[in-house]
């Protein structure tokens, strides 16, 4: 039997430089580090200072916009081209930096948005692993498009839903918007499809989901998307507790106001507060912001609303005075701490995958108000497949009116569905904990990966 090596495997994790991509990949790095792997995060010069996680090294690479990141670029196309050119060059230099040390790089784990990283890894004779940050269901949809089984634009009518293997029937409101209108976000669509451009050459494929949650969806496209489900990638404190001190992701492009929020929540009864957050990227229209605000003004619901300072002008002028005794509006907060707080009764969310995974992992019922892209599909599963929330219906102009929002909020907080939704939320929370716990489905996948890294490093050391 081949003896395991004495040299520690060294993985480099390369996320796309957005909060929703950095968090799960950084968490994967921490999971691997807890199992004896040396873990380094390679990120852009602009984001490098925002990452501080115990036990994880951080190295800068260049996207060509070192002073301002994406905001310095003219558009998505120019940014991605620059990141590919400059990123490939500086990632290669990083590999060379470690080549003759006691910890040469064994494997590059790259965000699936950055498939060029696999080419760099293979040029240097090291392993390459693609990491998908979307749900398995959404990945399956794009996999079908990539394989030619689903043509663009995707024409879907409510009376003739889209039926794909392993997925529930999808109505027009359930599919990513830009596959119905490819011309609407051409750069983003191209980036989504590029995830599969060289995937068959990858040594490993991972996704931030877990077997109990999306095993069927992943299996339906396993021949072309052989992903191992290793999630949920949520800090260990909120799940299995096996990584000491792991209470946060260790990366923030914004300064959270968690202390203020925690003090305010401490004054509220159990399950009495609606936590409202639309993530780091979504900007609600003025009309949609007003409708949510009017609903809160007319209700007796207590709420904590995360609204960036640049968005506050969209609130009705009388909003703060009308809700001062029931609500708190902050520019940012520690979402995990808030969701874990017993005062929170529901999570009003845009259904980004990270937020969806966090809501599921902490067992918080959800009110879904998806805005674009993959969020539409995530909302479908939140309501109809996992049964952990309700989805607000839009009017003919794409706006969730105040009456609809308030109805859904009360349904989840105190209505007929509330007990069923809370029971389902607890079920998925327990399954999420089980998946990453010892001998859980995700934990086994991670252990298998670590074993293969050790074998690869052992062979290389003997050469």
Residues annotated catalytic, as ranges: 21, 111
Token digits for 111?
A: 């965000």
Query: Cα–Cα distances in Å, from 302 out to 105, 369, 421?
Result: 50, 19, 19
With b for 16 or more beta-carbon neighbours within 10 A and e for fewer, the 309-343 pattern comes to eebeebbeeebeebbeebbbbbebbbbbbbbbbeb
Q: CA torsion 43→238→358→229, rounded to 10°?
A: 70
- d(CA 339, CA 363) in angstroms, rounded, equals 9
Query: Cα–Cα distances in Å, from 426 out to 1, 61, 347, 365, 433?
Result: 44, 41, 14, 9, 11
CB atoms within 10 A of CB 220: 19
- d(CA 242, CA 13) in angstroms, rounded, equals 21
- d(CA 276, CA 233) in angstroms, rounded, equals 22
Tokens 């996320």 correspond to what residue? 15
Query: Cα–Cα distances in Å, from 34 out to 28, 367, 401, 450?
Result: 10, 35, 47, 11
Quick check: 441 and 435 in contact, CB under 8 A? Answer: yes
The helix or strand, by DSSP H or E, that contains position 366, with its residue range, turns out to be strand 366-368
- d(CA 181, CA 14) in angstroms, rounded, equals 30
Total H helices, total E strands in the chain: 16, 13
The residues near 49 (Cβ < 8 Å, ≥ 6 apart) are: none
Tokens 């969020």 correspond to what residue? 375
């Amino acid at each position: 039997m081949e003896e395991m090596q004495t040299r520690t495997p060294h993985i480099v994790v390369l996320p796309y430089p957005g909060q929703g991509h950095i968090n799960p990949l950084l968490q994967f790095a921490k999971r691997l580090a807890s199992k004896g792997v040396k873990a380094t995060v390679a990120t852009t010069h602009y984001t490098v200072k925002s990452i501080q996680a115990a036990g994880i090294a951080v190295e800068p690479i260049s996207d060509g916009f070192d002073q301002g990141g994406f905001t310095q670029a003219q558009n998505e196309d120019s940014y991605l081209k620059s990141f590919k050119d400059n990123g490939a060059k500086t990632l290669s230099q990083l590999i060379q930096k470690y080549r003759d040390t006691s910890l040469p790089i064994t494997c590059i784990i790259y965000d699936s948005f950055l498939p060029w990283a696999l080419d760099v890894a293979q040029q240097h004779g090291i392993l390459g692993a693609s990491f998908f940050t979307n749900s398995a269901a959404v990945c399956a949809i794009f996999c079908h498009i990539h394989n030619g089984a689903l043509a663009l634009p995707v024409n879907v009518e409510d009376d003739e839903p889209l039926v794909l293997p392993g997925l529930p029937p999808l109505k027009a409101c359930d599919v990513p918007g830009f596959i119905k209108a490819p011309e609407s976000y051409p750069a983003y669509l191209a980036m989504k499809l590029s995830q599969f451009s060289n995937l068959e050459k990858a040594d490993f494929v991972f996704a931030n989901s877990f077997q109990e949650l999306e095993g069927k969806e992943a299996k339906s496209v396993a021949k072309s998307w052989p992903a191992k489900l290793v999630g949920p990638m949520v800090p260990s404190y909120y799940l299995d507790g096996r990584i000491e001190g792991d209470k946060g992701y260790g990366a923030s492009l914004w300064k959270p106001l968690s202390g203020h929020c925690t003090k305010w929540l401490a004054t509220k009864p159990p399950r009495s507060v609606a936590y409202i957050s639309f993530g780091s990227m979504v900007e609600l229209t003025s009309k949609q912001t007003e409708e949510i605000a009017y609903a809160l003004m007319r209700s007796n619901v207590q709420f904590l609303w995360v609204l960036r300072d640049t968005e506050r002008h969209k609130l009705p002028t009388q909003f703060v005075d009308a809700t001062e005794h029931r609500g708190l509006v902050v520019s940012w907060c520690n979402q995990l701490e808030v969701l874990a707080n017993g005062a929170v009764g529901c999570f009003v969310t845009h259904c980004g995958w990270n937020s969806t995974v966090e809501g599921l992992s902490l067992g918080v019922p959800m009110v879904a108000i998806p805005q674009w892209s993959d969020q539409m599909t995530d909302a479908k599963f939140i309501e109809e497949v996992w049964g952990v929330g309700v989805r607000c219906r839009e009017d003919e102009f794409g706006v969730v009116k105040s009456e609809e929002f308030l109805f859904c909020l009360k349904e989840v907080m105190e209505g007929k569905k509330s007990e069923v939704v809370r029971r389902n939320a607890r079920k998925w929370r327990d399954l999420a904990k089980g998946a990453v716990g010892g001998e859980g489905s995700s934990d086994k996948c991670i252990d298998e990966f670590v074993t293969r890294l050790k074998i690869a490093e052992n062979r290389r050391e003997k050469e």
